[in-house]
Structure 1
Amino acid sequence: MCTSPPRKTTTNNVTPAAAEPLPGWVDNMNGPTGVLIGAGKGVIRSMICNGELRSEVIPVDIAINGLILLPYHNSRLKQKPQQIPVYNLTVDDAKKRSWKWIMDVGRDLGLKYPFDVGLWYPDGNMTTSKFYHTICTILFMWLPAYIIDFLLAIFGQRRFMVRVQTKISVGLEVLQFFTTRNWDFKSTHFEQIYKEISEEDRKIFKINTNDVDDYEYMKISILGGRQYVMKEPLTSLPKARIQLRFMYVLDRISKGLILGGFIYWASMRLGLIDLVRHGIEAVKH
């Protein structure tokens, strides 16, 4: 019995499907999908990420097609390689977008196609400062989670926000390992397979990412997460947009009150209020 050398295959962050079985199809919140949903719901307010680094992601259907084609292609080789080949399943270097581009486009599309019943207006940010991230996490993620769970307990409802926040924190820690480091996966062998397979196989097993429009793919990824993970039909978009406008007004009013309260407190501590009051009284007299 003859055996050929094993092939080593590595994949990057797997994202929603580009085409099969449906555009945007996804069945979990792992990786970038969870960030898009969490940010769209207003749950994720901060993330450690170097926006200048390029993302290493690949649509799930292209990754699966590649995994199917690898053994098929290698079984047809007339001459087996002397060394174990390594296949990195990733997109072409020219197609790799920066994390900043992904976050900015994701935020823009998240406002055009909002999720239902978000926790707050989606207005998070990314940073490379762990100190700033920790402050934002405590004030805008953990503190609201405990307050909401406290109110739910008072009204006899089931608490869930702290549990959700814990899962999000674990997911962010895993993803931040990739978003704060520079990765350089060469997919030369993977690209070579596309050149060597027949035209018919190219139509059946699509692995060429050059045909994927990045902006359109981000759009279907958000809509896919909305439909297939959160179970929110597209018919609810008009209602979601009304809720988003309400959350926007509430967000701005809340920030205005907090900022105004801080300025008033600082003015009192510095004696500016008394100074202004005495000045007004002096003018009157």
Structure 2
Amino acid sequence: MDREGGDITYTDMIQTIAEPSKIGQYFSGSHVLVTGASGFLGKLITEKLLRSCSDLEKLYFLIREKKGKKIEDRCLEIFDNIVFEKLKREQPKFRNKVVFVNGDCLKPDLGLSNEDKEMLLKNVNCVFHCAATVKFDEKIRTAAYINVRATRDLLKMAKQMINLKSFIYISTAYAHCCRKDIQEVVYDTPITGEKLLTLLETCSDDFLDKVTPTLLGEWPNTYVYTKGIAEEVVGSEGKGLPIAIVRPSIVVGTAKAPIAGWIDNMYGVTGITVGIALGLIRTLHCKKDCLADIVPADYVINSAIAAAWSVGSKESINKEVTVNNNEVTVFNFVCSTQTQITWRIWMKYSEQHLKRVPSPLQLWHHFFILNSNYFMHILCVILFHYIPAYVGDLLALCIGKQPLLVKGYQKIGKFTDVISYFAVRQWNFSDQNTQNLYQCLNSTDKDTFGFNLKEFDWDAYFYTFARGGRVYLLKDPLETLPQGRIKYIKLIFMHYALIAVLCAIFLWFCYRMITLIL
């Protein structure tokens, strides 16, 4: 008879000592500036640095006054967000490290006072420039001031920062979407940032509105256009600085940390998915077998933090590319090189998991059609969006309510048209720098700051994504699932009952026409 515990050896009794975090050591004692800290990625970078790099000295939180609220009040509201709950538990005194700085990226020199500017120049070691306007239909002047001029002005400040170790610019993988093949390099643009800003200073708003299509050229909107121009500014102004550009593709909710499925905006794929969940959006112009290059937000910010460590510690990411040289290092953060998620797969997972977490806020049974043919898409828009909207608004008027559906679907149409540009095209991204960066991490940093998508469980993630949209965007807690399931069943019945009635009317009409002819 085997002795109890005989399978335990002496090696099992030795406690494994984890490697120290190189990234944690890099940020120890550092003063970090985060722009756009009130935005989606800005919140996540702020939370991650304060929680996982707890030995950093100060984090400067650039934020503007808004709607009459002082920056202190705005910051307190931001830190009340659920995304900071884990940080509050693990680092209850984290606010002692946060310095609120009044700034506005729409203004020259980021709207900084002389005192604040001197403080930042003297103290800051690491910069994460996340601030941007992400509105695809933003006026060219506003988009260029926030995305281009603010980047230029911050880079000029960075050159004067006596203790600068790293500067990370958060761009987008679609900054050069007019190219089919996108390498990890800084591309030339038809106009430099300086020339664009000079043009803005000399032209009226009316004139700029007229020439915007000419300026954009092959770029589909002012967002990606100005991000591309901003990269040119980083390439020209950032030479010689410890600087890198991180280009994520379509950013969606978090996969794991600090909360699974967290998101705070309706942009892009997220807005489409929520619209489907509510039964509002029923068609999208999209090529089903094109790749849906989506990436979880927590993986994006982990890659950005790792990039800061890499350029700041002069860590070579491969034999050919040594960071912190005279050229700006670029990291494309995409999923398409590691996992092939097509729009067809996205739709399959979305439908599968939205059924598991139905919301009582749902307006109609969700059905959704991916149309590769544009004219079929327009037909579906008329049949499934506008006809029901006009009928609904007519009923609203009859009972004395304000008609809202037609205006709502006009906005939805503009939104889906923007998404369609990226859903009917496919790009070939290179991400060798990003993959090599991941291999540079030790085991501790891979666990804490991991961003490898090679073995990512997309099926499980889409369930997390569906729950996150329900809880954090619709503000509908999971406690209402029983009511949601009851309503879901009712809406299915109503949906197919309506189809049966419409089919019966159509057949009756056909029968009447035939009898009249005969």
Asked if Structure 1 and Structure 2 have the same fold, meaning a TM-score greater than 0.5 normalized by the shorter chain, the answer is yes
**Change in CA separation of 1:274 and 1:50 when aligned onto 2, cut-off 3 Å:** closer
Q: 2:304 aligns with which of 67, 71, 76?
A: 67
CA RMSD of superposed structures (Å): 2.1
Q: 1:82 deviation in Å?
A: 5.0
Q: Secondary structure at the match of 1:7?
A: strand
**Change in CA separation of 1:164 and 1:74 when aligned onto 2, cut-off 3 Å:** same
In proportion to residue count, which structure has more helix?
A: 1
**2: CA distance between counterparts of 1:162 and 1:268?**
32
CA contact 1:73–1:197 (8 Å) conserved in 2: no
List structure 1 runs of 4+ shifted beyond 6 angstroms.
none
State yes or no: 1:240 paired with 2:484.
yes
Q: 2:339 aligns with which of 73, 92, 95?
A: 95
State yes or no: 1:45 paired with 2:282.
yes
Q: How does 1:143-154 map to 2 (within 5 A)?
A: 143-154=387-398
Identify the structure with bigger relative contact order (alpha carbons < 8 Å, sequence gap 6+): 1
Q: TM-score, normalization: structure 2?
A: 0.50
Q: 1:202 deviation in Å?
A: 1.8
Q: Secondary structure at the match of 2:287?
A: coil
State yes or no: 1:17 paired with 2:261.
no
State yes or no: 1:33 paired with 2:33.
no
Q: 1:145 deviation in Å?
A: 2.1
Q: 1:93 deviation in Å?
A: 2.1
Show CA shifts across 1:18-64 (max 9, x none). 01221000111111111111111111111111111111111111111
State yes or no: 1:199 paired with 2:443.
yes
Corresponding residue for 2:459? 215
**2: CA distance between counterparts of 1:127 and 1:175?**
13
Q: Secondary structure at the match of 1:33?
A: helix
**Change in CA separation of 1:127 and 1:259 when aligned onto 2, cut-off 3 Å:** same
Q: 1:5 deviation in Å?
A: 6.0
Q: 1:230 deviation in Å?
A: 0.1
Q: 1:274 deviation in Å?
A: 9.2
State yes or no: 1:122 paired with 2:388.
no
State yes or no: 1:255 paired with 2:255.
no
**2: CA distance between counterparts of 1:146 and 1:165?**
10
Q: 1:81 deviation in Å?
A: 3.9
**Unaligned stretches of 5+ in structure 1?**
276-285
Q: How does 1:122-141 map to 2 (within 5 A)?
A: 122-141=366-385
Equivalent AA in structure 2 for residue 117 of structure 1: L
Q: 1:166 deviation in Å?
A: 2.8
**Change in CA separation of 1:177 and 1:88 when aligned onto 2, cut-off 3 Å:** same
**2: CA distance between counterparts of 1:21 and 1:101?**
26
Q: Secondary structure at the match of 1:14?
A: strand
CA contact 1:92–1:209 (8 Å) conserved in 2: no
* Aligned length, in residue pairs: 274
**2: CA distance between counterparts of 1:86 and 1:261?**
60
* Identical positions, percent: 25
**2: CA distance between counterparts of 1:83 and 1:188?**
16
**1: CA distance between counterparts of 2:247 and 2:265?**
20
**2: CA distance between counterparts of 1:208 and 1:94?**
9
Corresponding residue for 1:184? 428
**Change in CA separation of 1:274 and 1:7 when aligned onto 2, cut-off 3 Å:** closer
Q: 1:265 aligns with which of 489, 509, 513?
A: 509
CA contact 1:92–1:187 (8 Å) conserved in 2: no
**2: CA distance between counterparts of 1:186 and 1:257?**
52
**2: CA distance between counterparts of 1:114 and 1:251?**
15
**2: CA distance between counterparts of 1:48 and 1:68?**
36
| Worse-superposed segment, 211-220 or 162-171 | 162-171
Equivalent AA in structure 2 for residue 18 of structure 1: A
Corresponding residue for 1:54? 291
**2: CA distance between counterparts of 1:261 and 1:108?**
32
Equivalent AA in structure 1 for residue 279 of structure 2: G
Equivalent AA in structure 1 for residue 310 of structure 2: H
Equivalent AA in structure 1 for residue 303 of structure 2: G
Equivalent AA in structure 1 for residue 266 of structure 2: M
**1: CA distance between counterparts of 2:300 and 2:404?**
34
Corresponding residue for 1:283? none
**1: CA distance between counterparts of 2:336 and 2:432?**
9
**1: CA distance between counterparts of 2:294 and 2:354?**
20
Q: 1:200 deviation in Å?
A: 2.1
Q: Secondary structure at the match of 2:454?
A: helix
Q: Secondary structure at the match of 1:126?
A: strand
CA contact 2:252–2:269 (8 Å) conserved in 1: yes
Corresponding residue for 2:34? none
